[in-house]
């Protein structure tokens, strides 16, 4: 559904499509600029598309109405309003957008032509006026809910776009007449700390790019604190370029000088020495890039350092676009999973109150992006093994081990609910086409879902749950599941969601678990749960953290973001 920001309902349009305007009607307009504006608007009504100065006009509704209500006279009569609006459009790159999408080059060319003569060409004035209005409408649309259509990239996307309930035409008219367009554009952007923080860091990386970025560091042995190596000099420059080290001379602590003296008694190669300050900077870099923090420069850290600054700028741009898709329409209370960050955040009254690590789907078992509502929690759940896993994993193991079902606390169940013994099955029946049963794992610590699962009914059979495989949470990259989201501290999450310190504190929850009986408890109020994919995010400390593009989804967003033709 197209955004109401660019759809207003009117009882009638001043000009009705299909009407042929005679020469007499045109001749009633003495102003040649208005005459050209009217000609273009009529063509737009008739054909629903038109190019002006080789540029496709975006707005099919608001732009025509704007000019019809003013009898096709120019809208932009204040030089101050024109200048401030064009400056705002020129700064679209600071939003991660491309000023060229908003006709900026042709607008500057036309304005230069108008300013260079005493009596500008009426057609030039008309074209400039129309394209500037169109540029504002298109830029406003992109700031409000994004340029890219996420549903075209994510088949599971079901998040609703923001709805604008204001008087679009009135706001546009007032903004142009009273030099308020830059302020209006500012109010359309997401206002949360995520968007603002990403913008600040984009400006930071744009500045680094202007200064030349950073050079590639050659491969070699892992560099650690205390080493002297010619590659250290390049690493030092790399860290300084991004701000992890001061771009100045070194001040080596006494303890490091002792180490340096013990390594070389000849020339003290200070700039090639991996000192403590540098080790601390490497640790900050690793945290910033969501790497294992060991203060050493191994393969993963080196690869991250060698990503060009342009790629990091684009990574931020992609996530600014994702912010525009969702940040203005989240509500105050929700639970959000960042799939790429392997994190879960609980938000209350718009503020993060708790977070924990999660494990998400591995490649080829990707966790989908979508929104739903958590309705209830199941303690001591059983696990019905998905048919795909039965075929690819369970049946092959059953063919090898006659006791596989019992040893894994499972049971074979027919569709009438009867329990079937593995020993009663013929080996030849252990193929998916000859296996008319379900396999269910009993409740307990061994259960693949652990001791609790969080249900938000959906067509993808995705839910949050506990897991007996706790070791994965200690890893930096955590894409190991079959698609569901494993939660590191699920019992704490259950307590927070049930929000009843008397009935469902940790002690009471443990009593439920000890029964080993399945129990479902509904939440007092359903809670929105949103599974998203962010490869750059701002944490509560205000710092930017890059995440692994584990599913390789950034490339498609960037391609659409950089596509020259606006998405209408």
Query: Two tokens at 57?
Result: 């006009």
Per-residue exposure over 267-305, b if at least 16 CB sit within 10 Å of its own CB, e if not: eeebebbbbebbbebbbbbbebbbbeeebbbeeebbebb
Report whether pLDDT(153) > 70.
yes
Query: Two tokens at 421?
Result: 């013994």
Nearest CA-CA partner of 221 in 289, 302, 293 = 302
Summarize pLDDT for 376-389 with one digit per residue, the tens: 999 999 999 989 89
Report whether pLDDT(1) > 60.
no
pLDDT of residue 285: 97
Q: Which CATH number fits domain 330-382+443-534: 3.40.190.10, 2.40.440.10, 1.10.10.10, 3.50.50.60?
A: 2.40.440.10
Query: Two tokens at 176?
Result: 């142009």
Q: Quote the distance between the C-alpha of residue 352 and its chain's center.
A: 18
Report whether pLDDT(238) > 70.
yes
pLDDT of residue 420: 92
Q: Where are the domains of the chain?
A: 4-190, 231-307, 330-382+443-534, 384-442
CATH number for the segment(s) 231-307? 1.10.101
pLDDT of residue 328: 80
Nearest CA-CA partner of 59 in 189, 172, 167, 187 = 172
Query: Two tokens at 29?
Result: 């307009």
Cβ–Cβ under 8 Å, residues 566 and 58: yes
Summarize pLDDT for 479-529 with one digit per residue, the tens: 999 999 999 999 999 999 999 999 999 999 999 999 999 999 999 999 999
State the virtual CA torsion across 405, 409, 412, 417 in degrees, nearest 10: 170
pLDDT of residue 271: 83
Cβ–Cβ under 8 Å, residues 325 and 150: yes
Nearest CA-CA partner of 320 in 199, 206, 203 = 199
Cβ–Cβ under 8 Å, residues 536 and 546: yes
Q: Which of these is catalytic: 142, 355, 484, 539?
A: 484
Query: Two tokens at 63?
Result: 């732009």
pLDDT of residue 186: 96
The bridge status of strand 383-384 relative to strand 51-52 is unpaired
Report whether pLDDT(240) > 70.
yes
Is residue 247 classed exposed, middle or buried when 0-12, 13-18 and 19+ CB atoms within 10 A define those classes? exposed
Is residue 544 classed exposed, middle or buried when 0-12, 13-18 and 19+ CB atoms within 10 A define those classes? buried
Q: Which residues pair with 465 in a beta bridge?
A: 453, 486
Query: Two tokens at 399?
Result: 């063919």
Q: Which residues pair with 347 in a beta bridge?
A: 334, 352
Q: Is 484 a catalytic residue?
A: yes
d(Cα 227, Cα 239) in Å, to the nearest integer?
Answer: 17
Percent of the chain with pLDDT over 70: 90
pLDDT band at 30 (very low <50, low <70, confident <90, very high): low
> Mean pLDDT, to the nearest integer, of 291-319?
97
Residue ranges with strand state E in 311-467:
334-338, 343-348, 351-361, 370-379, 383-384, 410-413, 419-420, 438-441, 452-455, 464-465
d(Cα 270, Cα 263) in Å, to the nearest integer?
Answer: 12
pLDDT band at 540 (very low <50, low <70, confident <90, very high): confident
461: number of CA atoms within 13 Å, CB side?
9
Q: Which of these is catalytic: 45, 103, 465, 482?
A: 465
d(Cα 50, Cα 126) in Å, to the nearest integer?
Answer: 14
d(Cα 288, Cα 500) in Å, to the nearest integer?
Answer: 37
More confident residue, 9 or 321: 321
């Amino acid at each position: 559904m197209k955004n109401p920001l660019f759809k207003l309902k009117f009882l009638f349009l001043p000009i009705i499509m299909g009407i042929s305007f005679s020469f007499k009607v045109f001749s009633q307009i003495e102003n040649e600029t208005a005459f050209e504006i009217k000609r273009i608007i009529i063509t737009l009504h008739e054909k629903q598309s038109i190019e002006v100065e080789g540029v496709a006009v975006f707005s099919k509704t608001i732009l025509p109405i704007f000019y019809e209500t003013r009898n096709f006279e120019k809208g932009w009569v204040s030089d101050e309003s024109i200048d401030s609006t064009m400056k705002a459009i020129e700064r679209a790159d600071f939003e991660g957008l491309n000023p060229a999408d908003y006709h900026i080059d042709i607008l500057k060319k036309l304005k230069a032509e108008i300013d260079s003569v005493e009596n500008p060409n009426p057609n030039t004035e008309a074209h400039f006026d129309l394209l500037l209005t169109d540029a504002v409408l298109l830029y406003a649309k992109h700031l409000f809910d994004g340029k890219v259509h996420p549903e075209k990239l994510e088949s599971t996307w079901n998040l609703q776009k923001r709805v604008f309930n204001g008087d679009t035409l009135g706001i546009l008219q007032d903004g142009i007449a009273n030099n308020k367009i830059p302020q209006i554009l500012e109010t359309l952007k997401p206002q949360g700390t995520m968007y603002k923080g990403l913008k600040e860091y984009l400006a930071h990386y744009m500045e680094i790019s202007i200064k030349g970025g950073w050079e590639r560091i050659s491969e070699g042995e892992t560099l650690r604190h205390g080493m002297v190596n010619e590659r250290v000099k390049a690493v030092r420059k790399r860290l300084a370029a991004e701000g992890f080290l001061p771009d100045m001379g070194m001040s080596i602590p006494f303890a490091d000088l002792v180490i340096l003296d013990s390594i070389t008694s000849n020339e003290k190669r200070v700039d090639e020495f991996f000192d403590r300050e540098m080790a601390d900077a490497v640790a900050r870099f690793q945290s910033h890039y969501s790497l294992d923090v060991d203060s050493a420069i191994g393969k993963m850290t080196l690869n991250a350092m060698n990503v060009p600054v342009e790629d990091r700028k684009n990574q931020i741009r992609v996530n600014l676009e994702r912010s525009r898709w969702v940040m203005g329409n989240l509500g105050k209370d929700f639970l959000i999973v960042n799939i790429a960050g392997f994190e879960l955040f609980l938000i209350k009254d718009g503020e993060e109150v708790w977070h924990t690590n999660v494990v998400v789907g591995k490649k080829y078992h990707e966790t989908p992006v979508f929104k739903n509502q958590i309705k209830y929690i199941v303690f001591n759940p059983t696990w019905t093994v998905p048919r795909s896993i039965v075929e690819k994993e369970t049946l092959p193991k059953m063919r090898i081990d006659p006791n596989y079902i019992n040893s894994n606390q499972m049971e074979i169940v027919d569709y009438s609910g009867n329990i079937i013994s593995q020993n009663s099955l013929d080996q030849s029946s252990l193929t998916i086409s000859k296996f008319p049963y379900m396999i269910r794992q009993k409740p307990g610590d061994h259960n693949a879902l652990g001791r609790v699962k969080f249900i938000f009914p959906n067509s993808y059979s995705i839910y949050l749950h506990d897991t007996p495989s706790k070791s994965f949470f200690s890893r930096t990259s955590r894409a190991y599941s079959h698609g569901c989201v494993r939660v590191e501290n699920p019992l704490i999450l259950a307590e927070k969601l049930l929000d009843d310190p008397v009935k469902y504190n940790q002690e009471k929850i443990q009593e439920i678990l000890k029964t080993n009986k399945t129990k479902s408890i509904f939440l007092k109020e359903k809670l929105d749960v949103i599974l998203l994919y962010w490869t750059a995010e701002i944490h509560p400390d205000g710092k930017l953290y890059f995440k692994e593009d584990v599913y390789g989804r950034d490339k498609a967003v960037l391609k659409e973001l950089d596509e020259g033709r606006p998405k209408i």
